Chains A and B, each alone.
Chain A
Amino acid sequence: MRGQTSIEALLALAALLCALAVLAHATKAQTDAFAAVVDDADARTSLAREAFYIDLSADMMPSAALQRNLTGVPISGGKWLASQGSGALREPLFHKISVDDDGGYYVQSK
């Protein structure tokens, strides 16, 4: 009981709270970084699948309209598909695509 109200006890409590705060902060930074990696991988996988669907559709139905609501955005004259969330994520296309006024995607050329 002697140490409970002493300066040492208060210092110990402060040290404990500081250690907990540092650990919590570091843990949050780690989980945030992990969440960013997962989001990035998810976006990259989605983009790769969309590029696959686009090239596959273009092989089977040249000049046909592709599905709407794609998350990727055609760039570089429609030769690349970029992620809307992160422009650094892109997938090459073997067919040029373009966007019409209604937001649909069309194959420009084979």
Chain B
Amino acid sequence: MGDIMCKVNDDGGNARAFWSIDAAFALVLAVAMFAMFSSLLYAAGVMVAKGADETSGALLSARFSSYALAQMEDGNNVDLNAVIEQTGRNYASLRIGDNFTQAGNESGAVYCTQRLYVNASGMVKLEACVG
């Protein structure tokens, strides 16, 4: 690299070729490699953060579905606004069979858990979502 940076033009007798084409090309390559390295690191960081978000959201929706089931077993209605306040999220919805209720603003990623449970009328599908 040092040789490249200090390349001397022997043909014309000019020893003042401080920046040669080779040196400039090496510099461009180094900057391009660093830019690619930065982009790769940024993309990897975004993917890792997204994975953690998805894990957190998916597990939260699973816990919400269990909470809703427990509330229904106790004969209580699920207060979705209370769920939003409790979880600090923006959106919550619950679908029990054909009955759908929601609260909050559905914006951004919404994570849902679907499960079957048995009640007096038979097997019912429950879908609990948080966003």
Contacts and interface: CB of A to CB of B under 8 A. Distances in A.
B86 interface: yes
Contacts of B18: 8, 11-12
Interface string B37-62: 11001001100110111011001101
Contacts of B63: 51-52, 55-56, 94
Contacts, number: 96
B70 to A, nearest CB: 6
Contacts of A42: 52
A94 B1 CA distance: 61
Size class of A's contact patch?
35 or more
Interface of A: 2-4, 6, 8-9, 11-13, 15-16, 19, 23, 26-27, 30-31, 33-34, 37-38, 40-42, 44-45, 47-49, 51-52, 55-56, 59, 79, 91-92, 94, 110
Given A8-B16, A55-B66, 17 more contacts: A2-B15, A3-B15, A12-B6, A13-B6, A16-B5, A27-B37, A30-B37, A40-B49, A41-B49, A42-B52, A45-B52, A48-B60, A49-B59, A51-B60, A56-B66, A91-B56, A94-B63
